[in-house]
Structure 1
């Protein structure tokens, strides 16, 4: 009976998972487009801070850092996805990100998005809200996204690793092409001064140094003790065990398959890519990443 029920759960899971479709030139699913008018009409404020990333690039990490910098240890524990709403999500189990963001009692409001730069509600630019973008090298990013898609029931079925890697190169992922995402946000930084562009690898290498840069961008001056405490609080192993940060309370995620926070390392791609896959990936990468000023490290 157990085998049968597990099989039927898997089948149901595959049926219920959303399908990818082309949305204004970007692969998306209904959970991020069904509330589109409300997303586009979202009223940003000048003191809002938008945390923007391609999925699985360190969003939760930076969200937690910002939350601690502004609000310290909260008296009553609140899950990170309520403290930092996911603007474009629209799902029965997760609610509406727009509504959650509108109801945030905090100032500044911390809001997260995975939207490509051209989809960001225009009020963020009009209000000159500050934006923190986090980018992660493509190889680690695709590995992390693969494991995430395996355990996340509101993502399309990932299939096997090699076909997933092909789709990643073609931009057939929710939120579209990694290459376009990181490059177009990087371009935006040249014309929009309230954008701070961070790299996941730099944060792994020296979290304190990157928090200093972030504080300098935000005009914050935490004490040495406060900064040391935050660096300790946001250590990967600590966050992975923290039910308010690790998404273990979200019903659509299956932790039996993979944790939401898996390794948080630089270079784990070496455990997934074959030599041939790596060579093909590098060749393809050269054709897609033309801007010499945007450089990533796939090892540190």
Structure 2
């Protein structure tokens, strides 16, 4: 078995995946931050329990395995105690997760510019002091510099040249995560790619496709309620049960669900700046992946 890539930051350590005892039927949800992680966790929960009323808060049922705020042993024990079909959250690319033929790996792709806009707003909603305390980082003696505008931040994000392993939330990091998953899904039937825009355009159809991939049969009369529970409005109304709130890092739980829309990145940039992004994207990812990632819903076969 090839060795796993390792990704570490102030609050994640992907080596926690090494030796994880998988079960037949496990689901691993592997996404970049702000690319539909909680949405896919909710869809999996609805398909598994076949009811809008979940037995526990979503983060408790589907823990973020490599986040170091909770001790590794505690997370492992929680998952070992589960008797339902398990669905586990990770922001680690699949080259850092053990590949087991008994497991289905679901990777959600979102247009990187839309992902970046959501990241920008998410950073505003993080409690910096609380984050430093939980990650044991020293408080800074100087006041933070004023934050750049969304436009200026987005341009810097496009241009930033950094190894993907140093910052998975960078454009190189996002493109590596998706490129690795794209190449795996072409040869591994247990790797499923889902496009964020397809969820927006045809939530019911995509939920049925995901159910088929997970070999889950849902009685026809249950579908309307399950699909409604996975809509943006329904999820936002239940933010206290669905949002990952480990350590109290969020200033406002409801702000976690901001717009849930596509095209927000394109709204901010000029045509010249969009071309600049396009050139950068083509330096980082294969053309077939980019056609899928940048397409409109339904343009290309899945």
Within-5 A mapping of 1:23-172: 28-33=8-13, 36=15, 38-73=16-51, 78-91=56-69, 94=70, 96=72, 98-99=75-76, 101-120=78-97, 122=98, 125-152=99-126, 153=128, 154=131, 159-160=147-148, 161=150, 162-163=152-153, 165-167=155-157, 169=159, 170=161, 171=164
Residue 219 of structure 1: which of 215, 218, 225 is its match?
Answer: 215
Structure 1 residue 191: Cα displacement: 2.4
Cα displacement (A) at 1:150: 2.5
Structure 2 residues without counterparts, runs of 5 or longer:
136-143, 298-302
TM-score by length of 1: 0.78
How many Å apart are 1:139 and its aligned residue?
A: 1.2
The partner residue of 1:237 within 233, 236, 246 is 233
Match of 1:297 among 282, 288, 294: 294
CA distance in structure 1 between the aligned counterparts of 2:103 and 2:64, rounded to whole angstroms? 16
Count matched residues: 269
CA spacing shift, 1:25–1:95, aligned 2, 3 Å:
closer
Instruction: Note the C-alpha offset of 1:207.
Output: 0.3
2:178 pairs with 1:188: no
Residue matched to 2:250: 253
Distance 1:32 1:175, change over 3 A: farther
Q: 1:76 to 1:144 in 2, by over 3 A?
A: closer
| 3-state SS of paired residue (2:24) | coil
The one of 279, 283, 294 equivalent to 1:283 is 279
Q: Unpaired runs of 5+ in structure 1?
A: 1-23
* 1:227-259 Cα distance to aligned partner (Å, 9 max, x none): 111110111011012021134686111228x81
Q: 1:53, CA displacement in angstroms?
A: 0.7
**Alpha-carbon distance between aligned partners in 1 of 2:296 and 2:197, rounded to the nearest angstrom:** 8
What is the CA distance between 1:275 and its match in structure 2?
Answer: 4.3
Q: After TM superposition, give the deviation of residue 210 of structure 1 in Å.
A: 0.4
CA deviation string 1:134-174 (max 9, x = no partner): 11111111111221222234499995332454245535634
CA RMSD of aligned residues (A): 3.0
1:269 aligns with 2:265: yes
Q: Which moved more, 1:272-281 or 1:130-139?
A: 272-281
Distance 1:224 1:147, change over 3 A: same
In structure 2, what is the Cα distance between the partners aligned to 1:201 and 1:77?
Answer: 29
- Superposed displacement of residue 71, structure 1: 1.3
1:114 and 1:248 mapped to 2: Cα distance? 16
